[in-house]
């Protein structure tokens, strides 16, 4: 099993040599492993949900630097602050993670337009008050996109940096709630696997967990959920989406099947005919953001 997992990650590494998310063909990593899984209904996002609209109040994106105790260096993250951010109010926090080919700028600068999606949701009154933190998910001194095979261990170690250094920094420097019921974690591809691993592995920290086209770093369901009753009691939302033509869909269907078999509330949407791309991930952010902190 370890050899298969390593081979899958090696293939991903080779395909991401140009620092972009790979398009994974069906069957490359097992395809839709649980063919009998029951998907939740796909409801298309409205046209223009990811386009800048005239007359809509704009949030801001701020690049921050924080000292990481686990990595031993200064690291960066982008923080989206909603329109009319008010330090006298308290906000919830969504930690939004990138994929293997990205960094703290992937969502914001490489096609995810999270600021535009969130601005439009705020304008339509569809989201709770929150800020969105987009960190670099490689917990290594060299956390550049060219990290190569060394990145895999760094991605796996990111929870130490996230929980030990980044979250305390955010809670010290921004007006946010500091309890798990006001924290969510979600991400795309490698970041989706991280979100499932870390979110379900630290339910004392995160109450809402989302995985968008989660990659082979996603732990098997029995590892993610060793205590079914605890997840039922403590997790407020477990939500996933993956393109129907994405070769990584099996990482999501195996978890959905386990949850269904054990009576754990879990959503998995099959985005029709789409592969491993921002069409799916933008839809994921748009949908997930509306469900959290309510």
Give the pLDDT of residue 29: 47
pLDDT at 11: 44
CA distances from 39 to 26, 254, 262 (A): 18, 12, 16
Distance CA 152, CA 216 (A): 11
The mean pLDDT value for 270-278 works out to: 96
| Rounded mean pLDDT, 231-248 | 97
pLDDT band at 22 (very low <50, low <70, confident <90, very high): low
Residue (of 177, 173, 113, 163) closest to 135 by Cα position: 163
Tokens of 183: 């924290």
Q: What HEC string does 164-218 produce?
A: HHHHHHHHHHCCECCCHHHEEEEEECHHHHHHHHHHHHCCCCCCEEEEECCCCCC
pLDDT greater than 80 at residue 99: yes
How does pLDDT run across 228-239, given as a tens digit for each residue? 999 999 999 999
Whole-number pLDDT of residue 15: 42
Q: Residue 50: pLDDT band by 50, 70, 90 thresholds?
A: very high
Predicted confidence at residue 25, as pLDDT, reads 54
Tokens of residue 200, six digits: 């379900």
Q: Which residue has the higher pLDDT, 134 or 10?
A: 134
- The pLDDT-based confidence of 28 (bands split at 50, 70, 90) is very low
Domain ranges of the chain: 47-291
pLDDT value at residue 148: 57
Split at pLDDT 50, 70, 90, the class of 138 is very high
Q: What is the mean pLDDT of residues 268-281?
A: 97
Cα separation, 42 vs 45, in Å, equals 9
Give the bridge partners for 52, in sequence order.
none
- Provide the CB-side half-sphere exposure for 80 (13 A, CA): 29
pLDDT score recorded for residue 255: 97
Mean pLDDT across the stretch 224-230? 98
CB 82 within 8 A of CB 125: no
Closest C-alpha to 243, from 233, 235, 252, 234: 252
Superfamily of domain 47-291: Alpha/Beta hydrolase fold, catalytic domain (3.40.50.1820)
pLDDT of 212 above 70: yes
The β-bridge partners of 184 are 94, 208
Q: pTM for the full model?
A: 0.92
What is the reported pLDDT for 146? Answer: 81
- Asked if residue 12 has pLDDT above 60, the reply is no
Dist. CA 58–CA 137, nearest whole Å:
26
CA distance 151 to 193: 14
Q: Is the pLDDT of residue 163 over 60?
A: yes
User: 224 near 279, Cβ under 8 Å?
Assistant: no
Name every residue whose Cβ is closer than 8 Å to that of residue 15 and which is 6 or more positions away in sequence: 22
> Half-sphere exposure (CA, 13 Å, Cβ side) for 135?
29
Q: Which of 138, 92, 134, 94 is nearest to 110 (CA)?
A: 134
pLDDT on residue 36: 83
């Amino acid at each position: 099993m370890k050899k298969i997992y390593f081979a899958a990650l090696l293939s991903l590494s080779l395909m991401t040599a140009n620092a972009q998310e790979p398009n994974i063909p069906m069957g490359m990593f097992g395809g839709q492993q649980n063919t009998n899984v029951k998907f939740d209904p796909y409801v298309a996002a409205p046209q223009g949900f990811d386009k800048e609209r005239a007359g809509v109040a704009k949030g801001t994106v701020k690049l921050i630097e924080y000292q990481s105790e686990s990595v031993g260096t200064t690291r960066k993250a982008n923080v989206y602050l909603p329109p009319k951010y008010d330090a006298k109010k308290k906000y919830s926090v969504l930690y939004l993670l990138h994929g293997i080919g990205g960094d703290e700028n992937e969502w914001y600068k490489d096609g995810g337009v999270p600021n535009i999606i969130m601005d439009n949701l705020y304008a339509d009154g569809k989201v709770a008050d929150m800020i969105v933190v987009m960190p670099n998910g490689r917990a290594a001194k060299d956390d550049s996109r060219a990290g190569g095979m060394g990145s895999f261990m760094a991605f796996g170690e990111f929870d130490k940096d996230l929980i030990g250094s980044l979250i305390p920094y955010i809670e010290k420097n921004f007006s946010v709630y500091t309890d798990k019921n006001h924290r969510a974690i979600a991400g795309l591809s490698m970041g989706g696997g991280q979100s499932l691993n870390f979110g379900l592995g630290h339910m004392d920290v995160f109450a809402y967990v989302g995985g968008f086209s989660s990659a082979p770093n996603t732990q098997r369901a029995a590892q993610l959920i060793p205590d079914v009753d605890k997840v039922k009691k403590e997790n407020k939302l477990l939500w996933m989406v993956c393109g129907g033509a994405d070769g990584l869909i099996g990482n999501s269907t195996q978890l959905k099947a386990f949850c269904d078999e054990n009576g754990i509330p879990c959503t998995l949407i099959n985005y029709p005919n789409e592969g491993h791309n921002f069409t799916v991930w933008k839809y994921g952010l748009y949908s997930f953001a509306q469900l959290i902190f309510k």
